[in-house]
Amino acid sequence: MDLALSDEQQMLATSASAFVERWCPPARVRQIAADPLGHDPELWRAMASLGWAGLPIADTHGGSGGGVLELAVLCEALGRGPVPSPIVVSTTLAALPIAWAGHDEQRDTWLPALSSGEAIGSLALVEPGGHDEWDEPGLHGGPALRGTKLLVPWAGTADVLLVDTVDGLHLVELRRGGTTSERHDDLGADPLFVVELCDAPAEPLGAGGREGHVPVLRRALDCAAVVQLAYVVGAAERALEMTVQHACDRHQFGRPIGSFQAVAHRCVDMRTDLDACRYLAYRAAWALDRGGPADLEVAAAKAYGNESLRRILVHAHQVHGAIGFSTEHDLHLFTRCAKSFELSYGSTTRHLDRVATTMGLG
Per-residue model confidence as pLDDT tens digits over 271-319:
999 999 999 999 999 999 999 999 999 999 999 999 999 999 999 999 9
In this prediction, residues 183-204 reach a mean pLDDT of 93
Residues 245-264 as b or e (16 or more Cβ within 10 Å = b): ebbeeeeeeeebbbeeeebb
On whether the 7-116 domain is CATH 1.10.540.10, my answer is yes
What are the tens digits of pLDDT across the range 40-90? 999 999 999 999 999 999 999 999 999 999 999 999 999 999 999 999 999
Nearest to 351 by CA among 311, 268, 313, 295: 295
121-207 CATH, one of 2.30.30.40, 2.40.110.10, 2.60.40.10, 2.40.50.100: 2.40.110.10
Sequence-ordered list of residues with C-beta below 8 angstroms from that of 327, at least 6 positions apart, any chain: none
Q: State what percent of residues in the chain have pLDDT above 70.
A: 99
Ranking 76-80, 123-127, 131-135, 348-352 by mean pLDDT, the lowest is 131-135
Question: Residue type at 74?
Answer: L
Predicted pLDDT of residue 133: 87
Predicted pLDDT of residue 2: 66
DSSP H or E stretch at residue 164:
strand 160-165
The answer to whether the beta carbons of residues 325 and 317 sit under 8 Å apart is: yes
Predicted pLDDT of residue 6: 93
Nearest to 179 by CA among 217, 140, 213, 152: 152
Residue 362 has pLDDT above 80, yes or no: no
- Spell out the domain ranges in the chain: 7-116, 121-207, 212-358
CATH code given to domain 212-358: 1.20.140.10
Residue 322 has pLDDT above 60, yes or no: yes
On the question of a common fold for 7-116 and 121-207, the answer reads no
